[in-house]
Structure 1
Amino acid sequence: MTKQRTCLERGRKTSVRLDQINLESEAGTARPGPLIKEHVKDLVRTKKNVGELDPVLLWKNPDNPEAKYIILDGRHRVAAYRTSKQTQKIPAEVLERPFREALLISGQRHTNSSLALTSQERADFAWRLVWEDFDYSKKEISQASGVSTRQVAYMRKRLKEIENTDYDITGSWWRDKQEQTVTEDKPMLADAQRRQQVDEMAKVIRDLFDRRGNPLPFWNNELVAEATAQALGEQKLRMIYEYSFGGLDDEEDEWGDLPVRSYPDEDPHAGPEEDTEIDF
């Protein structure tokens, strides 16, 4: 009987120089984007204390032996070595197999790692496996990303809808699953602009919920939750939940029987001159 490979299969143990690694490419990682600086600092401290970090997982193109290694798992560890001005070789596992298989293993490693993917990162990775032309099965995508096969099926359905339009896939499941309406007065933000606005809005929200010097009982989580629900309304709450936790199984009826308390547009207990609406 032929032994079937699994996503947890190990690579060849070796050591490599940093200049042998393609430090710019994010093609092999399930967590692209900016590195988490605090995690890099923690790894630098760990390296200083123990001398070596866990091996990074690299992909070697079997059809192009001269090409540099691609990082599958361990971008933060590589950054920690670079920060430490590492001049010697670093420990690594090297996979030499079709990229199609290597990408699944990258997802599995991130799902099981100490710095596991967030729900949104898992959804984005699963979405990538759907829209990139690797012909993965639903089970393969589910195992590699940690999302349900039901959600994978919904992603495939969404991809077919997009294929009949001129919409350009962004790679963000949260954005690509929505019906995007871009107009002249509401253009789609560039990533840098979007990041800046998110950071500014987050600061406003943090300041609003800051307990220090605030006469309102923001230490009471139940009151905070109820006040937030009343201020934002059901639609925004659903969007926040969906973004933060992957949106259950992303079906049209994804909220199903989940109880969501509804609130009137106006506070029935407020006096006639009191304005209870908070505009975010």
Structure 2
Amino acid sequence: MAKKTNKKVQRAPRGPRVTRADIVMPKDSGKTAAELKADSEKAKPTQGPVKRSLPRSAIYVAEEAFQWRGGPKQDRWERENHIYTLAKDLRNQKAPLTRLLVWQVGKRFYVIDGHHRLGAYDTAKWKKDIPVEVFTGTLDQARLRAIAGNVRDKLRMTPGQKSAAAWRITKENIGNLTADEVAEHTTISRRTAFAMKQVWKELNARTDLSDEQREKLPTITWKAARDLREGIEPDADFDADTWKEKKAEEVAELIRRHNAEIGLLADIEIAAMALRMLSERLPEALIEEWAGDYPELITELAARITNPPPDLEF
């Protein structure tokens, strides 16, 4: 009969925990779409088998070309929280995440879809090669694929970001898309997509624009374009959109600093009640403010309230 032993099973030591202080946002290369196009035209044709994994040093980020959410300050808390969650999964499971989708330019591979996953690898200090899928289409096709990934990603783009993306696609004529196709790629309304096409066409056809106005057309915002079309002169010393965005960032940062976002996001019903307690007028004002960004949802809710199912009472 074998003797029993009191030896304990030795477990592999765990690595250090991932904390929020460890969160790393991938560094941007600063490459623009125009620069990537020029680089790709100069690059030699690739040879050998298609890459299925890459060392971190070969993977680059080009925010201007492939990140449709805006700069790193846009949705910063949500983006960092998403990276944090993915990084914890990496540490706990010790298995790679879903493959990054990348576009090759010479020896560099630029992330099309998977910016947050790349941030998670950096945050978790991943040492192994990173699984990838190499996209073989054109730059325009890669950029449209990037927005498709952002629209359906778990961390969804806001309506404002989708609108900005649609306007950018329209201005740059990425993929030579029709208005219907722009709406399909960005999920904005067809009406807005057609309006963008019409406004952009009219502005470029106008002969009364000053040289300065014409020079600014490539970077003009959707709101500024509509104002220009209607003849509304902007204040040269004041950019309302920039001012509002800055103030909104200050309020968001104040909420984050006091960890209030945890309570707001934990239970939407309780959050709605809390906002009403701040001001009885606030819910109505928010609905009015967001109605233009969520027209389909507003229409659906109105229909649901007007004609509720038989088993649902309001």
Aligned length in residues:
223
1:101 is paired with a residue whose SS is helix
Is it true that 1:182 corresponds to 2:223 in the alignment? no
Q: Distance in 1 between matches of 2:102 and 2:51?
A: 10
Deviations 1:153-183 (A, max 9, x none): 1111121243334144546545554456432
Displacement of 1:94 after TM fit?
A: 1.0
Per-residue CA shift, 1:5-61, capped at 9, x if unaligned? xxxxxxx67111222122344412333321511111111101112221111111124
Q: Indicate the structure (1 or 2) with the bigger Cα radius of gyration.
A: 2
Separation in 2, partners of 1:41, 1:121: 22
Secondary structure of residue in 2 paired with 1:85: coil
Check the 8 A contact 2:88/2:124 in 1, yes or no.
no
Q: Which consecutive unaligned segments of at least 5 residues does structure 1 have?
A: 1-11, 212-217, 250-254, 259-280
Is 2:159 the counterpart of 1:107?
A: no
Contact 2:179 2:197 in 1 (8 A): no
Aligned twin of 1:5: none
Q: Which residue of 1 aligns with 2:282?
A: 228
Match of residue 248, structure 2, among 173, 180, 198? 198
Distance (Å, rounded) in 1 between the aligned partners of 2:238 and 2:275 = 37
Matched, 1:147 2:188: yes
Instruction: Report if aligned partners of 1:108, 1:143 keep a CA contact under 8 Å in 2.
Output: no
Paired amino acid for 1:140: E
TM-score with structure 1 setting the length: 0.64
Alignment of 1:56-71 (within 5 A): 56-61=100-105, 66-71=106-111
Q: CA deviation at 1:222?
A: 6.8
Q: Name the counterpart of 2:40.
A: none
Structure 2 partner of 1:80: 120
Give the superposition deviation at 1:80.
Answer: 1.1
Aligned to 1:252: none
Match of 1:96 in 2: 136
User: Which residue in the other structure is 1:18 paired with?
Assistant: 56
1:121-140 alignment runs, 5 A limit: 121-134=161-174, 135-140=176-181
User: Contact (CA 8 Å) 1:16, 1:90: kept in 2 or not?
Assistant: yes
Aligned to 2:37: none
Q: Secondary structure at the match of 2:122?
A: helix
User: Counting helix residues as a fraction of each chain, which structure ranks higher?
Assistant: 2
The alpha-carbon deviation at position 118 of structure 1 amounts to 2.0
Q: Is the 8 A contact 1:30 1:72 kept in 2?
A: no
Counterpart CA distance in 1 for 2:276 and 2:126 is 49
Q: Give the secondary-structure state (helix, strand or coil) at the position aligned to 1:219.
A: helix
- Alignment RMSD: 3.9
- Taking the aligned partners of 1:181 and 1:239, their CA distance within structure 2 comes to 23
- Shift of the 26–71 alpha-carbon distance from structure 1 to 2, 3 Å rule, reads farther
Identity of aligned residues (%): 21
SS at match of 2:281: helix
Residues 103 and 110 in structure 2, CA contact (< 8 A), matched pair in contact too:
yes
The amino acid that maps onto 1:45 is K
The one-character-per-residue Cα deviations of 1:51-100 (angstroms, maximum 9, x if unpaired) are 21111111124xxxx15222111111111111222232101111011112
Partner secondary structure for residue 101 of structure 2: strand
**Structure 2, unpaired ranges of 5+:** 1-49, 264-271, 303-314
Distance 1:75 1:220, change over 3 A: closer
TM-score between the two structures when normalised by the length of structure 2? 0.58
Residue from 62, 65, 74 that aligns with 1:27:
65
From 183, 188, 200, the counterpart of 1:159: 200
Output the CA distance in 2 between the equivalents of 1:160 and 1:170.
15
Report the more deviating stretch, 171-180 or 79-88: 171-180
8 Å CA contact 1:169–1:176 kept in 2: the answer is no
